Amino acid sequence: MRSAALLARAHPRVHAQASSTSTKTKPAPAKTLSRASMKTVPLHVGFVGTGLIGGVAVKQVASRAGTLLEQTGLDLKLAGATDSKSMILASDPAAGLANDAVTGGADGAVADWNAEALSGEISPCDLDAFAAALRERAEATGAHAVIVDNTSSEAVADRYEGWLASGVHVVTPNKKANSGDLKRFKAIRTAATSSGAKWLCEGTIGAGLPIVSTLRTLRASGDEIRSVQGVFSGTMSFLFNTWDPAGGQPFSEVVLAAKAAGFTEPDPRDDLNGMDVARKVVIAARESGVDLELADVTTRSLVPPSLESCDAAEYVSRMAEFDGDIAKEAADAASRGNVLRFVGKVDVEKGVGSVELGEFPKTHPFAGLQGADNVVEIQSSRYSAVGGSTPLIVRGPGAGAAVTAGGVFGDLCKLGAQLGASVLI
């Protein structure tokens, strides 16, 4: 048998714990890594899109950047920002991110940014010039560059392949690229794999909830996903969790509340027509190994055909005309003791996806959600409702500025860790 002294020499931490237990003294406080022993990882960040999510993401990053540098060596530098009209590039990106870099509100356009802190010139938005400047300036100082796409723009998604191929990382809650054309999606993935640049998109399902990363971790470690289903939309969850049809509340009133709370897409029809959930179904399918296209997803829409192609303002002003239709569906479900819930489903084994307005008994987990909660149930060879185990379930707020921006910021931290910063992720 090895003596206590031998054990202490071989495993000093084990010995320290054992002796502190036996003498009932307090364990020594854990030592944190000293700043000098950490690698410094400078990461130049360019924000494309400074609307609701982008505005809050900038504020979160700005208020945390100093602590991150001190505690992990990740040195986030605000190198530039654009909205659809104008862009600003820091004239000295190596100067770092000032805590007061942003003075505008969450709706702040580039013009609201503190040009003094960025010391940059405002010019018309040119995404290619923006990315090239970001990359060249980062390379010149041995830093990495990342574009944080906080738009819902196809034009921005179209550029990921080129950006990633040139070594610029991409972090985004924009669903257009990972739910859009399969050929483009694969080309983007190939560009990232070939260059080593990262494309991180946790915010594209469940806002800040760990759904994309959970699916990736399961598959990387050899698990096989069989199905992914749940309430994928914060907006639709909020609508059906808070609407009181029995009390005569108009459905359109709750849609306006969801929009005011920042849960909806810029055009709320993208939620109401099932398209946002269909996109999440496609993303979940692709992350589970199924090559699904958006057009293959059977999708229920709650947008009346006559309001499909008008402008967003007209839709919002006329949607009350159709309150009676959805109220009838809710009353029919209630007559059977059920409630309505808007769900997405991926059957990995059959390779199909769907978006449905389903009826659920009040005791069902999908019926007992609150606010804008999402619930996503993953069944796999390890987590299964059949065979003695239970499914893996992720639940929590699935929309809103703070949690979505938090998911985006979490991806920036993950990227920092992958580049060698001492971030525990």
Ligand X SMILES: N[C@@H](CC=O)C(=O)O
Q: Which residues bind ligand NDP (CB under 6 A)?
A: 48-54, 82-85, 109, 125, 127, 150-153, 155-156, 173-175, 203, 207, 234, 262-263, 265-266, 399-400, 404
Determine the Cα–Cα distance for residues 324 and 49; give it in Å rounded to an integer.
37
Decide whether 178 or 235 has the Cβ nearer to ligand X. 235
Locate all alpha helices (DSSP H) within 206-341, ordered by sequence. Answer: 212-220, 234-242, 251-260, 269-272, 275-287, 312-318, 323-335
Binding partner of residue 352 among ligand X, ligand NDP, none, CB cut-off 5 to 8 Å per kind = none
Binding site annotation covers 51?
yes
Q: Which residues contact 46 (CB under 8 A, 6 or more apart)?
A: 79, 80, 81, 82, 130, 131, 134, 145, 146, 147, 148
Paired with 253 in beta bridges are none
Q: Which residues contact 42 (CB under 8 A, 6 or more apart)?
A: 75, 77, 94, 138, 141, 142, 143, 144
Binding partner of residue 257 among ligand X, ligand NDP, none, CB cut-off 5 to 8 Å per kind = none
Q: Which residues bind ligand X (CB under 6 A)?
A: 207, 233-235, 263-265, 271, 276, 398-399
Binding partner of residue 108 among ligand NDP, ligand X, none, CB cut-off 5 to 8 Å per kind = none
- Nearest CA among 379, 369, 356, 368 for reference residue 399: 369
Nearest-approach distance from CB 186 to ligand NDP, in angstroms? 21
Burial class (CB within 10 angstroms; exposed 0-12, middle 13-18, buried 19+) of 98 = middle
Decide whether 42 or 173 has the Cβ nearer to ligand NDP. 173
Residue nearest to ligand X (CB): 235
Would you state the structure tokens that stand for residue 108, as one six-digit string?
């702040």
CB atoms within 10 A of CB 223: 16
- Choose the catalytic residue: 259, 280, 345, 362: 280
Binding site annotation covers 52?
yes
Binding site annotation covers 265?
yes
Nearest-approach distance from CB 329 to ligand X, in angstroms? 20
Binding site annotation covers 200?
no
Decide whether 50 or 174 has the Cβ nearer to ligand X. 174
Active-site annotation holds for 39: no
Decide whether 51 or 96 has the Cβ nearer to ligand NDP. 51
Binding site annotation covers 49?
yes
Looking from the CA of 16 toward its CB, the CA atoms found within 13 Å total 8
Active site residues: 280
